[in-house]
Chains A and B, each alone.
Chain A
Amino acid sequence: MVGPLSNIHEYLWLILAFPLAGVVLNGIIALVAERPLLLPADDHGHDDHGHGGHGDEHGAHHETPGYRKLVAFIAPAMIFAAFVVALLSVIQLAQMPAESRTVVQTLFTWIQSGGLSVSVALQLDPLSSVMILVVTGVGFLIHVYSVGYMSHEPAFARFFFYLNLFMFSMLTLVLGSSYLLMFVGWEGVGLCSYLLIGFWYEKDSASTAGKKAFVVNRVGDFGFLLAMFLVFWNFGTLNYTDVMARIPALQHSGILTAGLATAITLLMFVGATGKSAQIPLYIWLPDAMEGPTPVSALIHAATMVTAGVYMVARSNALFMLAPFTMGTVAVIGAATAIFAASMGICQKDIKRVLAYSTVSQLGYMFLACGVGAFTAGVFHLMTHAFFKALLFLGSGSVIHAMSGEQDMMKMGSLRKHTPITFYTMFIGTLAIAGIPGLAGFFSKDEILWKAYSSSHGSPVLWAVAAVAAGTTAFYMFRLIFLTFFGASRIDKEVEKHVHESPFSMTIPLMVLAVLSICGGWIGVPAALGGLNHFEKWLEPIFEGGHKAAAVATEALSHGATAAVHGAAAHHDPMEFILMGASVAVALFGIAIAYYLYMVRPEKPAKIAEANPNLYRLVYNKYFVDELYEWLIIRRIVNGSVWLWQMFDVQFIDAMVNGVAKTVRSAGDETRKIQTGVVGNYAFSILLGAVFIVGYLIWR
């Protein structure tokens, strides 16, 4: 590289600036060019030619208006530009020696008060570089896809305004150098999630789902906030590098005990369960499918929902000091993985299946973190971003082909009509099912192995995760068979319009399909003769955690470090056995799906009829939403009404009004002494004052 670009790290801010520019430009276009067209009074409808205030289009030909072309260019271009800067930055980072791969660029002081000083500063290190590449890379593909998918949408500019804003927030979340900046991004993506879920705000279900997502996330943010307060008052800083650097000293001085670490990390994990849809706060994610499908792919599968995993990985040094939290994270992760997978079994809506699948896969990532395999968690985060974005975009392509139909019971045999969508989705399904060689296999297998072998792991965790993996293979192949195979159950009217999607949609699918195949190859474990570049790349991030844990358990210090390196050096035959077992479980799941949906397609309905209660329970998601509604929401609302009526109206106001009434009746009596002579009043006032003052002095 030459000239001013010789140090690309001075331009880190551009990664944020490009999406922000997109936000501003699309926002202006939405406000100036698009808003007037959306008003019901205007009679533009579909025939929206010759406007935009430029007057550069004449005639009555039906052409995409200029402002929409502009948006369709700006929004993806800005993300692509951010991706290029991110890529160059990471390349330069890789050329630096491993131990100095942390670059911090400070932009300006944000909040400074008393002992607190937080700058807007960006931190590029191995962990954030994985995140920015995934976010900008997958984000760019989804932007391109959206141009095609949303082409009939009247509020086109508004959509990309939100989508760019999301990218800006997400990049702030992963690039920020302190917990407070992470929180800014954290809430920012929450806002965008709210706006995009409720994008079609005229639908009540959409605006309700958006609100639900924001509120449930706020419950998590409550934990995040408190965790920050604890960190600040004990570490005196919120910057990652400072917090990590102060851990040893605080351990020695006895301030950073296991109890404090447990409190901090549990509170952080509360935040993570909200954002990453884990038990008990996962309930918002299935409803979030009300948003446009590209949104589901970008926000509710590939990027935002993994923020919790990022947060845990970022704080690994603190988590490693809190064995109780680690256990909690692992158990919640495993429980969510299997619980959500079971809910995916009998959903009819194609997007809901994928939504539960996402919740379940996020559970895997937390399971990995909980057993101390942070690398595996982040690895799965990346591969999942590829194949789950692919699956969601594929489902979007299906929905597009089906004129908006999402019910799989009304699909079937689509592979003839939409071959590209079919093949790419099939690759994604193989990847998520854990078929050897594809991306999902390597990451999922590493998690399973660590769930068993790690010092925090156990055979039970492995078994739960393996069953969840089999379930995943089952419901994903069920989705494929119901959608693309068998006899067509498509509505006759709809069938006439079934078509493959345009290139702007299929090309992202193809790129993601390639990534779903090859994306795992950078992390091939040593046991399979791989070099596991991914693990080496992230090593500087996670060694801090192992060191801190080693100090905490002085006696085990040699054992702990030995375990970390030992796992890489020496191959336990058990690793191969478990690998084989998990593949077998996946194949078993696929076989059942094949039997039930290809060989004997009448069976599933019969099984459901035979177990009506069980079916109802699973189909209705175990009635958890209803339970929350009954147990918490209704109680709070009724309680609030009661408080207001009893306390404000019946108690305080009654008292105030009573006082007023007493005063009035007293006034009726005492007005007899109202003579109207000013002198008398003055005398009374003086008398009163003298009385009061006299009392105070005399006392």
Chain B
Amino acid sequence: MTASPNLMSNLLTILIFLPLAGAFALFFLPKENGRAIKHFTLLVTLVEFLLSIPVLTNFDGATAAMQFTQKFAWIPQFGISYNVGVDGISLWLLMLTTFIMPIAVLSTYAAIEKHVKEFMIFMLLLEVGMVGVFLAIDLFLFYIFWELVLIPMYFLIGVWGGERRIYAAVKFFIYTFLGSVLMLVAILALYFYNYKVTGVYTTELSALYNLNIPVKMQFWMFLAFGLAFAFKVPMFPFHTWLPDAHVEAPTAGSVILAAVLLKMGTYGFLRLAMPLFPVATFDLMPFVTALAVIGIIYGALVAMVQKDIKKLVAYSSVSHLGFVMLGLFALNIEGIEGGILQMINHGISTGALFLGVGIIYERSHTRQIADFGGIAKIVPLFTLIFMIVTFSSIGLPGMNGFVGEFLIMLGAFKTSQTATVFAASGVILAAVYMLWMAQRVLFGKLTNAHKLHLTDMNLREIAYMAPLVLFIFWIGIYPQPFLRKMDASVNAFVVQIHAKRQAAIAATPAGETLLARYFDVRK
């Protein structure tokens, strides 16, 4: 790649603002011409994806430092700057976002008929927010983008959703907004604490990482940030907005929600909550791990008994994201790399599952498992693709899910054997709920054929499923390129968080209990 250095230094900024420009341009397209609007949006997201490729190819996996950084003073009197960069942790989430967007847009071609223009504007605004969240290395900027994501998604569900869309949208909003408020409070507290210690107002992450925050303050701040992120992930027991949001959201909304939005939560832990508050991270690790494992099992069990395919997939997300959290809080390289990889895997596999559900829903207008049965006979290609995705979700070796889950459990086993034993039972349950669903939908006698109006996948649908299937096998068979780009960053993360924790332990009196440390409870 021999792009001009000028382009390289502005690349991340271009990636953030290109969709914004696209959304702006959409205002001037006549709203009657839905097809042109769709084509234009597809073009914008494709260009965005193509522009993100140089980031990947020029990314140096040997260094943990932020790359492609760009910084402007924004509100200098408050120390707030526009500051973006990418490292081995955010790189693949950026790529996932730019990769999944054209696919999501392509999936709307037959599904979205009303208010196409507004829909596409929201889609592009969503992309601005998501890309921004993963690239921001300024706390305030991060928060702005974090909030920016909330609004378009609220409308995507509330306007283009199913029957109970208003309820789902409001629920989504309440949860996420509550999280945002908590995070804002913690951000302000951190901001002023930093000023108190250093005498400088700044929201720059690299500066805040160096703070030695008192353990008691770490605890509360971790809780505030952690809750905001846990709502988003979502972790058990804060997950109940997800099934409703998924069921009501249009296919493209579900795909983006599952593939990218949930990852903002796990990414938040990795980027903010864990490195900023390392002592609290370690102290609360058993608690988070327990919730993660409960999520794995609970999500799987509840998924098993769902009657609506989309709801089943939504609950399976709770289970899968439990695995991601388990990996991140293993706090070793295997677990964290597995966790990051599993974020990508979940984006691909669950994204593809929602697309698959969308394909049969568009034709049959039902998502009830009981309405289907034996459709393999009339939609063989769909069956093939859907089974590949199903087994990827189950974590069959040779496909993407296995590599992530294996590394997660391997890492977690080192940290907590009990948790891993329970988590591994999720592997059994995943096979139960996915294969049971597949059996009831695809196999058996075809009874309802005339009512379902099913036809096999068309070229457009093949076009957006094919890249997902490609990555399912690529990551499964040769994950090296993906893992190697993370190495330096994850390594540095693990080293730093352990070092900070060691320092904190050295400073605390021997035999101090958690209660004593955080609540002044003395014996």
Binding site for B on A (CB under 8 A): 31, 35, 38-41, 108-116, 180, 183-184, 187-188, 191, 194, 198, 201-204, 207-208, 211, 214-215, 218-219, 221-222, 225-226, 228-230, 232-233, 636-637, 639-641, 643-644, 647-648, 652-653, 656, 659-660, 689, 692-693, 696-697
Does B159 sit within 8 A of A, measured CB to CB?
A: no
Nearest CB in chain B to that of A238: its residue: B410
Does B134 sit within 8 A of A, measured CB to CB?
A: no
> What 7 A-B pairs come out closest when comparing CB atoms?
A114-B333, A207-B443, A640-B301, A229-B413, A184-B397, A201-B443, A114-B334
> With A and B bound together, what is the CA distance between A652 and B231 in angstroms?
13
**Interface contact B301-A222, CB-CB below 8 Å:** no
Q: Given A40-B378, A114-B333, check contact A652 B174 (CB 8 Å).
A: no
**Interface contact B407-A222, CB-CB below 8 Å:** no
**Interface contact B424-A222, CB-CB below 8 Å:** yes
A-chain residues with CB within 8 Å of residue B380 when the two chains form the complex: 35, 38-39
Instruction: Kindly identify which residue among B192, B333, B374 contacts A113, using a CB–CB cutoff of 8 Å.
Output: B333
8 other A-B residue contacts (CB within 8 Å) besides A204-B445, A230-B413: A40-B377, A115-B333, A218-B428, A222-B428, A233-B414, A644-B301, A659-B174, A692-B188
A-chain residues with CB within 8 Å of residue B432 when the two chains form the complex: 215
B interface: dominant SS: helix
B-chain residues with CB within 8 Å of residue A219 when the two chains form the complex: 428
Q: Which of B381-440 contact A (CB under 8 A)?
A: 381, 384, 391, 396-398, 402-403, 406-407, 409-411, 413-414, 420-421, 424-425, 427-428, 431-432, 435-436, 439
Instruction: Kindly identify which residue among A115, A191, A208, A660 contacts B174, using a CB–CB cutoff of 8 Å.
Output: A660
**Interface contact B174-A656, CB-CB below 8 Å:** yes
**Interface contact B391-A225, CB-CB below 8 Å:** no
Q: Given A198-B443, A233-B413, A660-B174, check contact A111 B407 (CB 8 Å).
A: yes
Q: Which of B140-169 contact A (CB under 8 A)?
A: none
**Interface contact A112-B480, CB-CB below 8 Å:** yes
> With A and B bound together, what is the CA distance between A178 and B442 in angstroms?
36
**Interface contact A39-B378, CB-CB below 8 Å:** yes
**Interface contact B410-A696, CB-CB below 8 Å:** no
Q: Which of B237, B243, B298, B443 has the most CB of A within 10 A?
A: B443
B-chain residues with CB within 8 Å of residue A38 when the two chains form the complex: 377, 380
B-chain residues with CB within 8 Å of residue A221 when the two chains form the complex: 427-428
B-chain residues with CB within 8 Å of residue A188 when the two chains form the complex: 396-398
B-chain residues with CB within 8 Å of residue A643 when the two chains form the complex: 298, 301-302
**Interface contact B444-A187, CB-CB below 8 Å:** no
**Interface contact B305-A640, CB-CB below 8 Å:** yes
> With A and B bound together, what is the CA distance between A659 and B171 in angstroms?
10
A-chain residues with CB within 8 Å of residue B188 when the two chains form the complex: 689, 692-693, 696
> A202 → chain B, closest Cβ, in Å?
6
**Interface contact A211-B439, CB-CB below 8 Å:** yes
Q: Given A35-B380, A114-B334, check contact A207 B413 (CB 8 Å).
A: no
A-chain residues with CB within 8 Å of residue B334 when the two chains form the complex: 113-116
**Interface contact B301-A215, CB-CB below 8 Å:** no
Does B179 sit within 8 A of A, measured CB to CB?
A: no
> With A and B bound together, what is the CA distance between A221 and B395 in angstroms?
12
B-chain residues with CB within 8 Å of residue A109 when the two chains form the complex: 480
> B375 → chain A, closest Cβ, in Å?
11
Does B17 sit within 8 A of A, measured CB to CB?
A: no
**Interface contact B427-A201, CB-CB below 8 Å:** no
**Interface contact B424-A225, CB-CB below 8 Å:** yes
> A304 → chain B, closest Cβ, in Å?
15
B-chain residues with CB within 8 Å of residue A214 when the two chains form the complex: 431, 435
A sample of 11 inter-chain contacts (CB < 8 A) reads: A40-B377, A113-B338, A114-B337, A187-B402, A191-B391, A222-B424, A226-B420, A229-B410, A230-B413, A692-B189, A693-B188
B-chain residues with CB within 8 Å of residue A660 when the two chains form the complex: 170-171, 174
Q: Which of A31, A40, A114 has the most CB of B within 10 A?
A: A114
Q: Given A113-B407, A114-B411, A202-B374, check contact A215 B435 (CB 8 Å).
A: yes
B-chain residues with CB within 8 Å of residue A232 when the two chains form the complex: 410
A-chain residues with CB within 8 Å of residue B185 when the two chains form the complex: 692
> A26 → chain B, closest Cβ, in Å?
13
B-chain residues with CB within 8 Å of residue A191 when the two chains form the complex: 391, 396
**Interface contact A218-B478, CB-CB below 8 Å:** no
**Interface contact A183-B337, CB-CB below 8 Å:** no
B-chain residues with CB within 8 Å of residue A115 when the two chains form the complex: 333-334
**Interface contact B409-A225, CB-CB below 8 Å:** yes
> With A and B bound together, what is the CA distance between A39 and B456 in angstroms?
10
Q: Which of B58-73 contact A (CB under 8 A)?
A: none
A-chain residues with CB within 8 Å of residue B337 when the two chains form the complex: 113-114
> A209 → chain B, closest Cβ, in Å?
11
> B442 → chain A, closest Cβ, in Å?
7
B-chain residues with CB within 8 Å of residue A647 when the two chains form the complex: 237, 298
Does B523 sit within 8 A of A, measured CB to CB?
A: no
Produce 1/0 per residue, B299-343, CB < 8 A to A.
001101110000000000000000000000000111001100000
**Interface contact A184-B398, CB-CB below 8 Å:** yes
Q: Given A215-B428, A218-B427, A697-B196, check contact A653 B240 (CB 8 Å).
A: yes
**Interface contact A202-B413, CB-CB below 8 Å:** no
> With A and B bound together, what is the CA distance between A187 and B427 in angstroms?
12
> B404 → chain A, closest Cβ, in Å?
10
B-chain residues with CB within 8 Å of residue A693 when the two chains form the complex: 188-189, 192
Does B479 sit within 8 A of A, measured CB to CB?
A: yes
Does B376 sit within 8 A of A, measured CB to CB?
A: yes
Nearest CB in chain B to that of A230: its residue: B413
> A281 → chain B, closest Cβ, in Å?
12
A-chain residues with CB within 8 Å of residue B170 when the two chains form the complex: 660
Does B285 sit within 8 A of A, measured CB to CB?
A: no
Instruction: Kindly identify which residue among B338, B398, B442, B456 contacts A201, using a CB–CB cutoff of 8 Å.
Output: B442
Q: Which of A31, A208, A648 has the most CB of B within 10 A?
A: A648
> A633 → chain B, closest Cβ, in Å?
9
Does B471 sit within 8 A of A, measured CB to CB?
A: no
**Interface contact A656-B171, CB-CB below 8 Å:** yes
**Interface contact A111-B483, CB-CB below 8 Å:** yes
**Interface contact A204-B444, CB-CB below 8 Å:** yes
> B163 → chain A, closest Cβ, in Å?
17
Nearest CB in chain A to that of B306: its residue: A644
**Interface contact A111-B479, CB-CB below 8 Å:** yes
A-chain residues with CB within 8 Å of residue B413 when the two chains form the complex: 226, 229-230, 233
Q: Which of B430-468 contact A (CB under 8 A)?
A: 431-432, 435-436, 439, 442-446, 456
Does B474 sit within 8 A of A, measured CB to CB?
A: no
B-chain residues with CB within 8 Å of residue A225 when the two chains form the complex: 406, 409, 424, 427
Q: Given A198-B443, A643-B302, A696-B193, check contact A211 B436 (CB 8 Å).
A: yes
A-chain residues with CB within 8 Å of residue B420 when the two chains form the complex: 226, 229
> With A and B bound together, what is the CA distance between A222 and B338 in angstroms?
18
A-chain residues with CB within 8 Å of residue B396 when the two chains form the complex: 187-188, 191
A-chain residues with CB within 8 Å of residue B431 when the two chains form the complex: 214-215, 218
> With A and B bound together, what is the CA distance between A639 and B483 in angstroms?
39
> B396 → chain A, closest Cβ, in Å?
6
B-chain residues with CB within 8 Å of residue A207 when the two chains form the complex: 439, 443-444
> With A and B bound together, what is the CA distance between A114 and B402 in angstroms?
17
> B76 → chain A, closest Cβ, in Å?
20
> With A and B bound together, what is the CA distance between A214 and B432 in angstroms?
9
> With A and B bound together, what is the CA distance between A228 and B410 in angstroms?
9
Instruction: Kindly identify which residue among B192, B391, B456, B480 contacts A697, using a CB–CB cutoff of 8 Å.
Output: B192
**Interface contact B189-A201, CB-CB below 8 Å:** no
A-chain residues with CB within 8 Å of residue B410 when the two chains form the complex: 116, 228-229, 232
> A511 → chain B, closest Cβ, in Å?
33
**Interface contact B305-A644, CB-CB below 8 Å:** yes
A-chain residues with CB within 8 Å of residue B338 when the two chains form the complex: 113
> B330 → chain A, closest Cβ, in Å?
10
A-chain residues with CB within 8 Å of residue B377 when the two chains form the complex: 38-40, 202
B-chain residues with CB within 8 Å of residue A689 when the two chains form the complex: 188
Q: Given A207-B439, A697-B192, check contact A112 B483 (CB 8 Å).
A: yes
B-chain residues with CB within 8 Å of residue A114 when the two chains form the complex: 332-334, 337, 411
A-chain residues with CB within 8 Å of residue B484 when the two chains form the complex: 112
> With A and B bound together, what is the CA distance between A31 and B17 in angstroms?
43
